[in-house]
């Protein structure tokens, strides 16, 4: 028997996790998302004789008038929580580019029923906002960190900034945000030689580090399966270097398989959506910055919520619409299969 008040899809999955993108803009140009830089183009040319998108990549940012206001975002989250959503993560683009983001955090933190409020950021703009975000009610933060060397960091992200990101990670720990997570996208021939160093960094600084398989979400459409370092390969290399102990998953919907170090300092997670899909337990839904609902990271269909919000639809009508949209959630993605079609927008536009 299902509860009509919850967001349940046709596979029987109950959705509890909402990812909210608050801007599609970003101050980084990461090779796996917005590969605009010459270094990114040169890397991909090493794999492609002719890049699928060889023209200069010029991001088409969403017009500001199309971005949901803080009031609209808060309303959607309140309705989602009334339908069983418990975890909310703010993403982008780079969410700290949105002015007065701490005010939005305070709005969301005040919604009864939210058990976890987190943010994913590249960390570059975190220091001047950190204390205000913590005071507003932010509980957790995840930083993107794909390299520990300045040259490789610049090659991957398109800019200087390693020192700023490292300082942000330390500051988040000082402020009591917990756990502080670090996400590293591993790409063969680019940063896979840093796997052990990144794990050692996590242990040294008592961080939760997540190794993430490279996914086909770049705006150049240059992803190749050969560039993916499978999760089992990452694990084998880590076990050859470190004494790691398996950590039981908190919930079947957890995306990462986890391991801890014997002394309890630091944790390693591996997120392997390409080689070991976890679609069967997926409990996530996404709201883009311009008000579209996405039922899967790799959806080719978006459902327009913004028009309903601005046309004066009632809370009841929107709630029923959300339940109908969720019912259509894809059973699984099709990465690596002959009929796979990548989503029409890159990760920056979709929201992580």
Sketch the domain layout of the chain as residue ranges.
Answer: 17-350
3-state secondary structure of 347: helix
The Cβ of residue 262 has, within 10 Å, a number of other Cβ atoms equal to: 9
What torsion do the CA atoms of 291, 292, 294, 295 make, to the nearest 10 degrees? 90
Distance CA 72, CA 188 (A): 41
pLDDT on residue 45: 87
Counting as low any pLDDT under 70, the low residues of the chain are 1-2, 54-59, 352
pLDDT on residue 1: 39
pLDDT on residue 54: 66
What torsion do the CA atoms of 32, 33, 39, 43 make, to the nearest 10 degrees? 30
- Tell the CATH superfamily of the 17-350 domain: Aldolase class I (3.20.20.70)
Q: Yes or no: say if 215 and 335 are a contact pair by the CB < 8 Å rule.
A: yes
Q: Whole-prediction pTM value?
A: 0.94
Q: Yes or no: say if 143 and 157 are a contact pair by the CB < 8 Å rule.
A: no
List phi, psi (to 5°) of 130: -55, -50
pLDDT on residue 266: 95
User: Which residue, 209, 208, 228, is CA-closest to 218?
Assistant: 228
pLDDT on residue 59: 66
């Amino acid at each position: 028997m299902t509860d009509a008040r919850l967001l349940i899809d046709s596979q029987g999955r109950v959705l509890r996790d909402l990812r909210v993108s608050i801007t599609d803009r970003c101050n980084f140009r990461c090779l796996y998302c917005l590969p605009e830089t010459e270094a990114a183009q040169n890397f991909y040319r090493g794999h492609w004789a002719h890049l699928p998108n060889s023209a200069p990549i010029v991001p088409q940012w969403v017009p500001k008038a199309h971005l949901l206001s803080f009031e609209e975002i808060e309303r959607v989250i309140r309705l989602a929580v009334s339908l069983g959503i418990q975890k909310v993560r703010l993403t982008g683009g780079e969410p700290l580019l949105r002015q007065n983001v701490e005010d939005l955090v305070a709005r969301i933190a005040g919604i009864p029923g939210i058990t976890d409020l987190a943010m994913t950021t590249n960390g570059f703009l975190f220091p001047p906002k950190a204390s205000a975000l913590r005071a507003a009610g932010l509980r957790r933060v995840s930083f993107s960190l794909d390299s520990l060397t300045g040259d490789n960091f610049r090659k991957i992200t398109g800019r200087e900034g390693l020192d700023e990101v490292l300082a942000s990670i330390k500051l988040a720990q000082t402020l009591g945000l917990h756990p502080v997570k670090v996400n590293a996208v591993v790409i063969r021939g680019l940063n896979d030689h840093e796997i052990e160093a990144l794990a050692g960094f996590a242990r040294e600084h008592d961080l939760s580090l997540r190794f993430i398989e490279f996914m086909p979400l770049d705006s150049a459409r240059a992803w190749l399966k050969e560039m993916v370092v499978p999760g089992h390969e990452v694990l084998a290399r880590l076990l050859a270097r470190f004494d790691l102990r398996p950590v039981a998953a908190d919930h079947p919907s957890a995306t990462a398989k986890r391991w801890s170090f014997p002394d309890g300092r630091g944790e390693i997670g591996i997120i392997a959506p390409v080689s070991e899909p976890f679609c069967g337990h997926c409990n996530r839904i996404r709201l883009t910055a311009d008000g579209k609902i996405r039922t899967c990271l790799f959806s080719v269909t978006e459902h327009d919520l913004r028009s309903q919000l601005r046309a004066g639809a009632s809370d009841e009508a929107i709630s029923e619409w959300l339940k109908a949209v969720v019912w259509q959630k894809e059973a699984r993605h099709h990465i690596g299969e002959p009929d796979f079609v990548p989503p029409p927008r890159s990760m920056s536009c979709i929201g992580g």
